[in-house]
Amino acid sequence: MPVRVAVLADLERIRALPFDLGGLAVLGLSRKRLKEMLASPEHLALVYAAGTRCSAFLVLHFLPGRRVKGSFAIVTYFSAAMPRKDWAVAAGMEAQAVELARENAAAAVLCRGCGKSREFLRSRGYAELSSHFVKNLSYPGC
């Protein structure tokens, strides 16, 4: 899977992603905010990119911080280029994010979902709690 850490040069391609699957809308993402996230040890910004094409973008925000046992990984941005009915790339990004959250000692992944993204998050094993979805990583098989 061509997942890599995002760089500032990806910003315009990230902003062009039309389908928000959770978190904040990428359309309003500023260069300053992306630069802050890339420099922060609490954030992990990833893109699914093949060549110059960016197909998905996901940011994990670790609270209280990375590698703190029992921390939470919050998906602050999650957008994709494909229609919601074709979630293969998004599912791969989500699986990569969950693996990275586990590697960084997170107990759970939280994501805000709305509209059709609710279907996607439920299909990926998230439980719905009010306006957020939670995937518990503390138990084997989650």
- Condensed to tens digits (0 to 9), the pLDDT of residues 9-32 reads 999 999 999 888 888 888 888 999
User: Taking the model in full, what pTM does it have?
Assistant: 0.87
pLDDT tens across 30-69, in order? Answer: 999 999 999 999 999 999 988 778 889 999 999 987 888 8
- For range 81-95, the mean pLDDT: 79
Tokens at 111, concatenated: 């994501």
User: Is there a contact between 48 and 1 (Cβ–Cβ < 8 Å)?
Assistant: yes
Angle at CA 93, nearest 5°, toward 63 and 16?
Answer: 95
Q: If you ran DSSP here, which 8-state letter would residue 24 be given?
A: B
111: left (phi over 0), alpha (psi -120 to 50) or beta: beta
Looking at the chain, the whole-number percentage of residues with pLDDT higher than 70 is 94
